[in-house]
Structure 1
Amino acid sequence: MWNMKNYLFLITIALSLNLCSCEKDKLTEDKTPKFQPIEFVKIGGIDQVISVKGNDLSKPVLLILHGGPGYAMLPLFHMKLSELENHFIIVNWDQRGAGRSYSDDIDVSSMTLNQSISDAHELTIKLKNKFNKDKIYLLGHSWGTVLGIELIKDYPQDYSAYIGVGQVVNVIKNEQHSYAFALNQATTHNNSFGINELVSVGAPNNDGEYLNDKGYEITNKWMEFYGGSIFGQTSSDEVTDLILSDDIYADYKDQWSKGVNFSQQLFDDPNVWSFDFSRTHLDLSLPVYFFMGNHDYDTPFTLVEQYYNTLKAPRKQLVWFENSAHFPFYEERGKFISELIKLSDL
């Protein structure tokens, strides 16, 4: 016979089932991690900013080292390559003195190659601990590839693989090749104004020095003008504009620009001008992949190809992007995504 006790029993069962269902839903939701747009992390004694994106904490961590120096790009991979977040935990980092990590209080004397490497490795250890990983993946772009090669040489135990995009091999040879390309293109196109500007600064000597301090600016201008930075375009401004359109930088554009200028202090470090990976880093103990645009004259592809041919590594691959120059992750993002996903299960 049904009585009040029976009804109370049924209500109790219903509530229990509903509670279990809620707990199950909560667990399902929790599988997709929630990250803040940016995080401030103490690195090398100062606050620096990272942005973490990813849909599965079981996936490998990929730390991205931006170029420049000072060319901070926290939101770019999320804006243009978000599919990678299904395969990696993507960590973008504004390096010391760059982007949201810029501060008027940073000691200029700390802007050195060795400090940059130390910062990157300290962040590596923090990420390994945070996400409970034995190793992480490392991707460097342009200037970031200088840090990347040094890191995998000195700390191979911390990294699963290295991807160099727009790999730098030797800064001085890099500058000489960029200048030669710019002058050749200006001559081919009968650009008397460009020729005169380039001749006025002279070709960089074996110390990387021009006749005057406008040499780097003028070489870069004409190298970009002839598609050496973005294939088929006269500058890379569209990438910068996209980066700065995101909320992360929208109210910090002045800070971003200050960071670019401040980061040029790194070129005062003699170590930046003296390294030559084609002589000193020929034997690396983990997989190495170079993603190179076939029209890259910012970090000239010929130097990378020569380095690759002499490099020894457990596994290596040179991936060409036929319709790209210095920004294949922007210029050919579909291919870039597919090539990077192939490496996610190493």
Structure 2
Amino acid sequence: MACLAVLVGLTVVLLWPGHTPPITDASGKVLPGSVAALERVPLNETRQWVLMRGHSERLPVLLFLSGGPGGTEMGWVRAHNAELEKHFIVAVWEQPGVGKSYPLAFTHREHLTLDQYVEDGLALAEYLKRRFHQDKIFLMGHSWGSFLGVWMAQRRPDLFHAYIGVGQMTSTVQDDRLGYRYVLEHARAEGKLELVRKLERQGPPPYSGSLILLRYMTYLNPLTAYEHGLIRRAGGGGGNTFGEMVSLPELRVIDKLYAFLGLIHTFSVVYPQLNERQVDLAQQATDFEVPVYFLIGRHDLNAMASLSERYFERIRAPHKELIWFGRSGHNPNYGCEADLFTRTVIERFRPLAFPSRGPGDPRGSAE
């Protein structure tokens, strides 16, 4: 009986439902008409988790696409960009194979393809439009999510006020080779012979096989360290941690495990598809029917800022704007410029949902 009680107790702990706290006023009372929902919504014959939060159900909707593939950014958005909830209904999608939606990697493995992610994302955009009675919503993609965002905006421009790319990806093969070369050159210059030998032994990306993530991390870990060094020299610092990613009430204990497994398993399934398809947005996705905005950290080495800028220059859109964050790298939305990022999003994009009020001055930089 004792063993059974322990088993039942462990099951309850693992599967105890997550929840999102209500939005309250200064006195602690639930704000009337606010939105605080953590739900599994029906998307293309599956049910996928979405967090939706906003101070009023009448606010414009901002759909956020997390990076990865396999990453959940629900915790980071809640920790660093909570102010957005006063101006938007912020919807954070747990994609198939990611966080709370990780089990879909096994029950609906066919959803772990580039085309199906786009289809699911568009189905979610349609759902949000209907639920909140809006003609269009805003679309923001970060890192891997910026690939999805571009494809979604091009496929269904009628759904979106604008597309906003953060840490905008362009080509995984070019990005990875530039990152590998950057680390190898700096390691040689600094006399890091063990790292040099390891990099030379495995050769440049793209990689494949069951240990694909470990091979990428051989240069991605030091590349991230170099990026942090550039940020510190620019007067920046801080950022996001794995603890922030998982330490929020929306995630059950088992979801925290899913968050870790998604980074390993889903990445290994999805990332090679980008390489196999030879994705290069600067060659393949330059025409848009919606306004396009890139919010880029000046010192981004993960999605090389130089490649993002080159891609931006080739884009044709009704309006486009590149906004630099001078003390940031791949995550201007979570680092020391998170408040500036949030303020920029509020000031630049919320007026687009109310054209009669004017879009504001589209020029300038966040540097």
Same fold (TM over 0.5): yes
Structure 2 residue aligned with 1:85: 85
Q: Which residue in the other structure is 2:196 paired with? A: 195
In 2 relative to 1, CA 311–229 (structure 1 residues): closer, same or farther, beyond 3 Å?
farther
Question: Which structure 2 residue ranges, 5 or more long, are not aligned?
Answer: 1-28, 353-367
Shift of 1:157: 0.5
* 1:118–1:228 Cα change, 3 Å: farther
Deviation at 1:222, TM superposition (A): 1.8
Contact 1:243 1:249 in 2 (8 A): no
1:72 corresponds in structure 2 to 72
Distance of 1:267 and 1:180 partners within structure 2: 20
Matched, 1:96 2:99: no
In 1: Cα distance, 2:274 partner to 2:308 partner: 22
Could you tell me which amino acid in structure 1 is paired with residue 350 of structure 2?
S
Q: Report the counterpart of residue 303 of structure 2 in structure 1.
A: 299
Question: Aligned AA for 1:288?
Answer: V
Distance 1:240 1:46 in 2: 28
CA 153–129 in structure 1, closer or farther in 2 if over 3 Å, else same: same
What amino acid sits opposite 2:351 in the alignment? Answer: D
Structure 1: which 5+ residue stretches go unaligned? 1-27
Larger of the two Rg values belongs to structure: 1
Judging changes above 3 Å, is the alpha-carbon distance between structure 1 residues 310 and 107 closer, same or farther for their aligned structure 2 residues? Answer: same
Task: Give 2:241's aligned residue.
Answer: 239
**Using the alignment, how far apart are the partners of 1:210 and 1:118 within structure 2?**
26
Q: Report how far residue 210 of structure 1 moved.
A: 7.7
| CA distance 1:45–1:253, change in 2 (3 Å) | same
1:318 match: 322
| TM-score, scaled to structure 2 | 0.79
Identify the residue that residue 24 of structure 2 maps to in structure 1. none
* Structure 2 counterpart of 1:253, from 252, 256, 261: 256
Alpha-carbon shift at residue 256 of structure 1 (Å): 1.4
The match for 1:334 is 339
**Does the 8 A contact of 2:35 with 2:56 survive in 1?**
no
Who is 2:186 aligned against? 185
- Tell me the CA shift for residue 236 of structure 1: 9.8
**Aligned counterpart, 2:226:** 226
User: CA 1:310–1:238 in structure 2 vs 1: closer, same or farther (change >3 Å)?
Assistant: closer
Query: Is 1:70–1:98's contact at 8 Å kept on the other side of the alignment?
Result: yes
Distance in 1 of aligned mates of 2:101 and 2:143: 19
Which shows bigger deviation, 223-232 or 51-60?
A: 223-232
The alpha carbon displacement at 1:268 in A equals 4.1
CA positional deviation for 1:101: 0.6
Give the deviation of 1:263 after TM superposition. 1.2
3-state DSSP of counterpart to 2:36: coil
SS at match of 1:35: strand
Q: CA deviation at 1:137?
A: 0.2
Match of 1:345 in 2: 351
Matching residue of 1:116: 117
Residue by residue over 1:199-224, the C-alpha shift from the partner in whole angstroms, topping out at 9 and shown as x without a partner, is 122123xxx34899553221212211
Q: Which moved more, 1:295-304 or 1:254-263?
A: 254-263
Deviation at 1:75, TM superposition (A): 2.9
Percent identical residues: 29
Q: Is the 8 A contact 1:267 1:273 kept in 2?
A: no
User: Is contact 2:75-2:244 (8 Å) kept?
Assistant: no
The two structures, once aligned, show a CA RMSD in angstroms of 2.5
Counterpart CA distance in 2 for 1:238 and 1:125 is 30
Relative to structure 1, the CA distance from residue 166 to residue 202 in structure 2 (aligned partners, 3 Å threshold; closer, same or farther) is same
Change (3 A) 1:236 1:230: farther
1:66 CA drift (Å): 0.2
| Cα deviation, residue 270, structure 1 | 5.9
- Structure 2 distance, partners of 1:144, 1:299, is 12
State the Cα distance separating 1:190 from its structure 2 match: 2.2
SS in 2 for 1:63: strand
User: How far did 1:162 drift?
Assistant: 0.7
How far is the alpha carbon of 1:193 from its aligned partner? 2.1
Q: Which residue of 2 aligns with 1:288?
A: 292
Structure 2: distance between partners of 1:271 and 1:200: 21
Deviation per CA, 1:87-109, whole angstroms, max 9, x where unpaired? 11100010011000111642333
1:165–1:149 distance in 2 versus 1, CA, 3 Å: same
- After superposing on structure 2, the runs of 4+ consecutive aligned residues of structure 1 that deviate more than 3 Å are 28-32, 209-215, 228-233, 235-238, 270-273
DSSP 3-state at the match of 1:269: helix
Residues 3-152 of structure 1 mapped to structure 2, 5 A cutoff: 31-36=32-37, 38-103=38-103, 105-152=106-153
Classify 1:191/1:71 alpha carbon distance in 2 versus 1 (closer, same or farther; 3 Å).
same
Bigger CA drift: 249-258 or 330-339?
A: 249-258
Rounded Cα–Cα distance in structure 1 between residues aligned with 2:136 and 2:339: 26
> What is the aligned residue count?
314
Q: Contact 1:229–1:297 (CA<8 Å) still a contact in 2?
A: no
